Structure 1
Amino acid sequence: MRDDTGVPVQIPETVSGIVSLVPSLTESVAATLPGALTGATDWCTHPADLDVTRVGGTKNPDLEAIRRLRPDVVLANAEENRAPDIEALRAAGVPVWVTRIETLDQAFTSLARMFTGACRTTVPAWLAEAGEVWREPYRGPRRTAVIPIWRRPWMVVGRDTFTGDVLARLGVRNLYADHPERYPRIPLPELAGAGPDLVVLPDEPYAFSDTDGPESFPGLRCVPVSGRLLTWYGPSLTEARAELERALR
């Protein structure tokens, strides 16, 4: 089997021990194969009652702790996890399956391959349901937006991102979708002067909220949203469309 990056991964016929280094993949496995999940990062917050060994962060995982768990497979992501960590685990003989997801369509395809190939199970019902939820084209009003993800310095969603594709599927065009960088640093005066219809403020990675962020964009409509609904690819996709449409209305 080859993962999303084209690397061959030796997966045993039966998978009973999985370590996930990506919060959305952790939630996906917990909802599908809860007994198989043995390790996850400190940032894996869903489900709330997740009781597995914690193995550090997405950018600084405890590689020795992962090796001690002797997982059948480690699930990672090309954007969220560092290549040196993935390579170190593979060098130690640990199978690592790397996903690459930059669009909704890639999410559905990648997750289906991950479950059937890396987890040795069938495509879960929630993933099929999510596909149906997002199948219908958006027919509402079209708007433009900037999507900050950090402040001090201000950073926004740029080109080729899952977040940008989700918003595009909801009729919201990212004004920085053509920027050379995926997450460029943009001075606040430029952001405020770009003339967006909306400023979409997810609560992760920076915790924007009703009281932290909107004050920087006087005169513009600011929409705080759940980062899980906007940036995660997993069971949240079944509810994300309706919730985001309601928030962006």
Structure 2
Amino acid sequence: MSSSSNRPAVRRVVSLVPSLTEAVATTAPGLLVGATDWCEHPAGLDVVRVGGTKNPDVARIVALAPDLVLANEEENRAPDLGALRAAGLDVLVTEIRTLEQAFTELERVLVRGCGLARPAWLDEAREAWHAVRPAGPPTPAVVPIWRRPWMVLGRDTFAGDVLARLGVGHVYAGHAERYPRLPLDELNACGAELVVLPDEPYRFGADDGPECFPGLPSALVSGRHLTWYGPSLAAAPRVLGAALRAAVR
């Protein structure tokens, strides 16, 4: 991101990250002029749609003449961000792999990037997570995020850090890859005592996922609360905690 203490006022923002879309739209309605097709929150968001996170329509974004484009190093591709910069746009790229990074980067996006006042929901989210204390040793778990092929959480992920704070230690946290592809028989033999199945990016459900892990309790959890960094963080400890507790009773 190009930066300057003399940055002009930001009046038009395009977001290429659903989490950041919700964060900006919740904090300053009207600032956002463009977002991806996957940006579903807040409900009723009325902005120009600019394609997907992996295949944004660069020409459409440029035509919107945004003062700032919000992106993420994991969700968006470097060639697309390079094309936006080459067109003269200011692109702020976040890196979020821990809960603490999420709070730091959200403040950078909203306060320093967009010039907004620090939102109350961000403080509420910090307070909600500050009160979280795991009860006892971590429960070893496997956390699929996709099937056909099976992919699971590996090292250095935001969702893994969130689960760790809630008392769930995912088995592949030390894997060389961040999202390893592993055969199902290996996942069933990894020593997990729980399978955590979010409803995004793959939409796992009661009839799609648990049957592949016979003998393991399944926690069906909200993917938005597990993987999004935005206003949903304030409710995430309560929502995820309830789903995890229900699974291991």
* TM band (smaller chain): over 0.9
1:8 aligns with 2:6: no
AA in 2 matched with 1:92: A
TM-score, length-scaled by structure 2: 0.95
Aligned match of 1:4:
none
- Give the drift of 1:137: 4.3
Query: Structure 2: which amino acid aligns with 1:86?
Result: L
CA contact (8 A) 1:145 1:175 kept: yes
Corresponding residue for residue 114 of structure 1: 109
Q: How far 1:102 sits from its partner (Å)?
A: 0.2
- Tell me the amino acid that sits aligned with residue 238 of structure 1: A
- Structure 1 outlier segments of 4+, above 6 Å: none
Please give the alpha-carbon distance, in whole angstroms, between the structure 1 residues aligned to 2:3 and 2:79. Answer: 17
Q: Is the contact made by 1:159 and 1:180 (CA closer than 8 Å) also made in structure 2? A: yes
Amino acid at match of 2:195: V
1:233 to 226, 229, 232: 229
Report deviation, 1:68.
0.5
**Is 1:89 the counterpart of 2:88 in the alignment?**
no
**2: CA distance, partners of 1:197 / 1:229:** 22
Alignment of 1:115-134 (within 5 A): 115-134=110-129
Write the deviation string for residues 96-130 of structure 1: whole angstroms up to 9, x where unpaired.
00000000000001111111111011211100110
Q: CA deviation at 1:231?
A: 0.2
Q: Structure 1 residue aligned with 2:63, among 43, 57, 68? A: 68
Query: Does the 8 A contact of 2:132 with 2:237 survive in 1?
Result: no
Equivalent of 1:18, from 13, 21, 24?
A: 13
Which amino acid letter does the alignment assign opposite residue 203 of structure 2?
A
Aligned partner of 1:178 in structure 2 is 174
Letter in 2 for 1:160: D
Per-residue CA distance 1:197-246 (angstroms, 9 max, x = gap): 21000011111011100010111101111100000000000100011111
What's 2:94 paired with?
A: 99
> Contact between 1:12 and 1:72, CA under 8 Å: does it hold in 2?
no
Which residue number in structure 2 is paired with residue 190 of structure 1? Answer: 186
Unaligned runs of 5+ in 2: none
Equivalent residue letter for 2:34:
G
Query: How far, CA to CA, are the matches of 1:63 and 1:74 in structure 2?
Result: 11
**Of residues 150, 155, 158 in structure 1, which corresponds to 2:154?**
158
Amino acid in the other structure paired with 1:219: G
What count of residue pairs does the alignment treat as equivalent?
243
- RMSD over equivalenced CA pairs, Å: 1.1
For residue 204 of structure 2, what is the aligned residue in structure 1? 208
Deviations 1:73-95 (A, max 9, x none): 00000000000111110011010
